[in-house]
Chain A
């Protein structure tokens, strides 16, 4: 029968239309603006409206999500900050768009390099969020951030981040990437135990 195909198609749109109400009623009051509502809307059983009403609500960020790198410092017992970065330069060498600039500290007396960066710049306009710096850093000193809301009024003045702006405490890192953090700490503890046994 001519037109049967169209009718079948209309049936599909109708089920979608009705389905969205079914889900709204079944999840009455919980479908929007709640974590379990968002989880349901991104699950295999989701039907009806998929839209996440950003910025009122937003999708949960998976642990591996990567955006603009940041530097980690450890907080010592006396409250001082210890950079994990030793300015070895691997991140600057592996960076595909070459957006990392590092100034190495030299000891003023001996002229030898000190394992701490004097300055550290990332041009976030150039950064392509590939995550190589974090992946290849041998000291777990640079990691990818979760914060993606970075708009500013003047890109020329504000989009080159310096060490101050890039540095964040290790506890922040533990908060956004708990699994990775736990794994890295375990490896570190194992290494130290080996050293102590020697």
Chain B
């Protein structure tokens, strides 16, 4: 697996000195971080958290290093990205485990935020986490055969390993792949699974977990507990999302989110695609803030490509302008629909969407599409602002939006009904928020002023003056307020950016249709409107990424949903969910 014989002349890193024989530096070209021995993971992670202050587990993912080479060994590699909640660069470490027996210790005890991410790695890559309390499939259903992110797995509409497909040109005879491979004849079930008797509403594994959680709950009077399924079709779940809730009267005893209804195996598609093809696919993750998604992916690949992909100054400014406009439009949407969930039927939502509409008009004029922007390229942006658009943005940012955000503030913030409905509901302590890897507004509303734009600045955010918004009660009301605060800070950034917007090139070099990306790995993360959005990309020098992983903030923020809801009334579930602000395109990927 790893070459244990470290080069003797190299000086040992601090981590290697602290854990002799357990930790070795990852010396593969283009890679960073350390490799930790699999059986010492818990010990190592405990020390990281308690001695070194790496309390925030940002991302866990797995890579399948399958090789045909007889001499090299195939193995799975788990990649962990840790941060300090006080800011700073990442600590990356990896675990290598054999492919025929992929078992590793679970970190859920130490970092509860690992829960969903480990389940995802089990679901898609088939890695067993020893000691995980609830290791069920999370995005796939039980009738799904195999682990789709393994390199030897093939999808039902499989054509070829990598795009571009050979039959498109020059001999392209058109056909519909559904005709060749019709629905119903392309599925395969695990042994002993009968789809005709399987009923989703009676999923035994899910109900078992709910039961287990309910055992810990005790009341003096014996009452019968019931399970209520909220969703997947429910107007307040913001999409096809389901929550299985176990109730004692009106009180929530246990809650398990059920997701994956919109799953399309984004990461597998991404590994079939060439690097540049992934850009429009990232738009479809969090479809309300496609510019931020573009940003994160562009950062990751640019890191791999090095200097030749450094964006020129004007492009950096355009990127920041677009990303901040996205943040405002996303928060307007989030606030509007939080109020909808509270029962203020559509008036606040429509007031908010009016402003979003004007922002989308700008996106349409600049990028050609209102939501699926596909605006970023490696080393810059796709096109410059058309004539008159800069003035339009200025009008909006300097005149209209400040006025309208103040109006929204006047309209909602002090409203007694909203306050009594939101204050003290769904409280998350700062310790919990960090432990559960909550990100973005959810984390900051709990009093942890962690914003990647300040904590680990990317692009040109260090050139702007702005404050990290933070609120300290950690309830739904604060998660509403923080979004208003953040919109104001975004306006501050926008005002500075528009003032300083330089003239010049928008792209570094040419815009080739196939980029050359050197072998290596990179993790690009941005502060998206919903939290830390990270892209982990592994390249092996070929036109397609070897591994492409999305650290989706909506998905990981849901880890804390149960904690938020247990002990409260069932009516608060919808509000709590609304205050996290999820988009199912990103949750299910």
- A-side residues, CB < 8 A to B, are 2-6, 8-9, 11-13, 16, 42-44, 46, 50, 59, 62-66, 87, 89-90, 92-96, 98, 100-104, 113, 119, 121, 123, 128-132, 135-136, 144, 156, 160, 179
Contacts and interface: CB of A to CB of B under 8 A. Distances in A.
A179 B365 CA distance: 13
Contacts of B414: 4-5, 8-9
Contact of A8 (B170, B279, B366, B411): B411
B407 A129 contact: no
Nearest to B344: A9
Contacts of A42: 357-358, 361
Contact of B374 (A8, A46, A62, A130): A130
B365 A128 contact: no
B196 interface: no
A66 B279 CA distance: 16
Interface SS majority for chain A? mixed
16 contacts: A3-B416, A5-B413, A6-B416, A6-B417, A8-B410, A44-B392, A44-B399, A44-B400, A64-B386, A65-B369, A66-B368, A87-B170, A93-B168, A96-B163, A102-B170, A131-B374
Contacts of A11: 410
B276 interface: yes
Contacts of B369: 65-66, 129
B172 A132 contact: no
Given A44-B395, A94-B276, 11 more contacts: A5-B419, A6-B417, A11-B410, A42-B358, A42-B361, A46-B354, A94-B513, A94-B514, A96-B278, A98-B163, A102-B168
Contacts of B278: 96
Interface string B418-437: 11000000000000000000
Which residue, of B170, B364, B365, has the highest number of chain A Cβ atoms within 10 A? B170
Contact of B164 (A87, A92, A135, A136): A92
B303 to A, nearest CB: 22
Nearest to A66: B368
Contacts of A44: 358, 392, 395-396, 399-400
A22 B163 CA distance: 57
A125 B276 CA distance: 21
B354 A90 contact: no
Contacts of A87: 169-170
A12 B354 CA distance: 15
Interface string B326-359: 0000000000000000000001000100100110
Nearest to A13: B347
B171 interface: yes
Interface in B370-389: 372, 374, 382-383, 386-387
Given A62-B365, A179-B386, A5 B416 contact: yes
Given A5-B415, A62-B365, A93 B169 contact: yes
B172 A102 contact: yes
Contacts of A129: 369, 372
B446 interface: no
Contacts of A16: 351
Interface in B145-193: 163-165, 167-174, 176
Given A62-B386, A94-B513, A9 B411 contact: yes
Which residue, of B281, B354, B417, has the highest number of chain A Cβ atoms within 10 A? B354
B367 interface: yes
Contacts of B347: 13
A98 B399 CA distance: 44
Given A16-B351, A42-B361, A90 B513 contact: yes
A135 B347 CA distance: 41
B169 A92 contact: yes
A75 B300 CA distance: 45
Contact of B372 (A90, A128, A160): A128
Interface in B485-501: none
B411 A12 contact: yes
A53 to B, nearest CB: 15
B92 interface: no
Contacts of B165: 98
